[in-house]
Every structure is written in structure tokens, then in C-alpha cells.
Amino acid sequence: MNSPQTINGLMRHLRNDCNINISGSFQKQQLISYGYYHGYKGYRFIKNRHNRIPFTEFSEVVAVIEYDNNLKAALYSDLMFIETAIKNIVCNESVNGLKLGTFEHVYKERMRDNTTNTKLQSKRLKLRNSVYSKLSSRYHDEEGNDNQMVRHFYNRGEDAPLWVVFEILYLSDLASFCMLYTLKSLRNSVAHNNIIFDTRFKDRKISPVLKRWVEKETGIQNITLYSLIDYIIIVCCLLKRVDFSSIRAKQLVQAYKSQNQLLQNNVAAVIYAQIIQQNVSQKLSALEAYLDT
């Protein structure tokens, strides 16, 4: 087994083997703070390790890391807001017309309407299992806690009401109600500080229903999720609908534009062109026009 590399050794490796100019105590501290493996190794390519970014200066590596971190910071609060808002919207819609406001009643009344569709049935059964698993875990975790949201009902011999279920659902569970799987991987990457600038987190194609809605809603075509701008567009569409205004969405667009400009100022033109596709400015203009309507 090879002995571990010192920070000085890693700096020499970047200079001699990676042809990246790095020197001085300040950049040494940056390399320590960002990490060689999470930092340089993670950000040295776009989407896959064969598509290398032609860095020549360590300051360019830092610029891309900061670009990614700042985009995650800009997206985090909006994604959390969307998740909470849609939970409440779906919860309210789910109980309309029901005699009992429990998940079991929703499942029996609203989610057993097509028993011949085996794929749909499988998804719904998986959702039901996930809900009860989370209720069980939450019941166990609430022992000795003052905030006994689940225990309050089960200890009285009652089913937990639907609002309690929605409080403990994750976005992946919620997606079974309203087709939000497209945003699940972005949300998880933002929440867990994974890299997002090149959409390497993408784990599925966009839902055809969501694609048609977004393209019709905004007038922006070719929503493929190849670039982060497509995720920005989807998030802005949802923000405009759940916030009943365009304020949050416009703030997100402005933050995205500002970060793009900052990146352009701090990396070589060839690197910027590799990260920001040619159609981004066109899509941004169309998105701003949509948000102004």
C-alpha cells in the first residue's frame, strides 16, 4: 500500500502531472479546505472522467468549486420551499371528498382504482410500505421526546391523520403522488453537498408529462435536463405556481445569472464554454420573459 500523500506532495502532483499552476500558502490552504479528492478530483471533469476540464490554474478549479457551491446555496431554500408547499397542496387535495382523513383511507379510496395495471399497483404498494415504515420509525424515535406527533395518535388507538403522514414523507415518496421524481436527484444532491453544476446527479429522463407542461407553460422548447438551466426552468415554474408570484423565481434566475458571470470572469473562455452551453442565454431570456407575464 502506498504511503499517504502530504499536501506538499499533492501540490507537486498538480504542478508536475496535471499541469496546473498552484503555489504559495494561500492556495495550499485552499487545497486543504476544499480537499484534493472532493475538490480537484471531483471537479476536474464534466459529467464523466473522460470529459476533462482543461484547467491551467488552480484558481480556475476554485472558481468552479465556488460556482457549484453558490448554486447549491441559491437552490436549497427554494427546493425546500417547493417540497413543503407541494406536500401541503397534495395533502389538501387528497382529503377533498373523503369521509376519513387518514392515509389508509386515501389508499383504499384513491389508489386502488386500477388493479389491472400491475406496474402502477407495484408503485402504490411500495409507497404504502414506505409510509408505514416511516410511521413505525417515527413512533420509535419519539420515545421520550416532547414532540410526539405520531405517538399522540397511535397511543390513543387512532390512525395518524394524513397531515402527519405528509410531514414525514420525503420528496421521493411525494413523487409517487405528483410525478416529482425529476427533481428528487437535484434536491438530494443539493441537500447532501454533491456536485450539481454538470447535472451528473441526473438519474432518469424527464417525465413526459412534466416536459409537456413546462414547455407549454414557458414556451421554452427542448427541455432535456442535459444542462442545469433546464432544472432552473422547472424549479422556477413550480415556484411561480406554488408561491403565486414570480419573486422567488426571479431571485433564483438573478442568482444563476450572477454566478455564471462570476464564473466567466474567473476561468478561461474554453472552460466557460464547456460548462455553460450556447443555448443557456437564450433559455434564460425566455425564462425571464415568462416570469414577467
Task: State yes or no: pLDDT of 176 exceeds 70.
Answer: no
Task: Give residue 3's pLDDT band: very low, low, confident or very high (50, 70, 90).
Answer: low
- For 237, the grid coordinates are 415554474
H runs (alpha helix) in 111-158: 118-141, 151-154
Q: For the chain, give percent helix, strand, coil, nearest 5.
A: 65, 5, 30
Sign of CA dihedral 9, 10, 14, 18: positive
Which one is predicted more confidently, 205 or 175? 205
What span, in angstroms and rounded, lies between the C-alpha atoms of 197 and 62?
Answer: 13
Per-residue pLDDT band for 172 (boundaries 50, 70, 90) equals: low
* In the chain, where the domains are located: 54-82+183-293
Tell me which residue of 149, 167, 196 sits closest to 42, measured CA to CA. 196
Burial of 193 (C-beta count, 10 Å sphere; 0-12/13-18/19+): exposed
172: cell is: 421521493
pLDDT band at 107 (very low <50, low <70, confident <90, very high): confident
- Cβ atoms of residues 168 and 134 within 8 Å: yes
The more confident residue out of 64 and 114 is 64
Three cell numbers written together for 259: 454566478
133-156 tens-digit pLDDT:
888 988 888 888 877 888 888 888
Mean predicted confidence (pLDDT) in 215-220: 96
Please compute the mean of the pLDDT values over residues 30-45 and round it to a whole number: 94
Type of residue found at 150: V
- Average pLDDT score, the chain: 89
Beta strands in the chain (DSSP E): 45-46, 48-52
Q: Per-residue confidence at 276, pLDDT binned at 50, 70, 90?
A: very high
Provide the pLDDT for residue 2.
Answer: 67
> Averaging pLDDT over each range in 84-88, 243-247, 276-280, which range is the top one?
276-280
Question: What 3-state class would DSSP assign to 46?
Answer: strand
**Residues 239-265 as b or e (16 or more Cβ within 10 Å = b):** bbebeeebebbbebbebbeebbeebbe
Task: Identify the CA nearest to 158 among candidates 95, 96, 92, 102.
Answer: 102
Instruction: Provide mean pLDDT across the span 18-32.
Output: 96
User: Which pLDDT score, from 0 to 100, does residue 163 have?
Assistant: 83
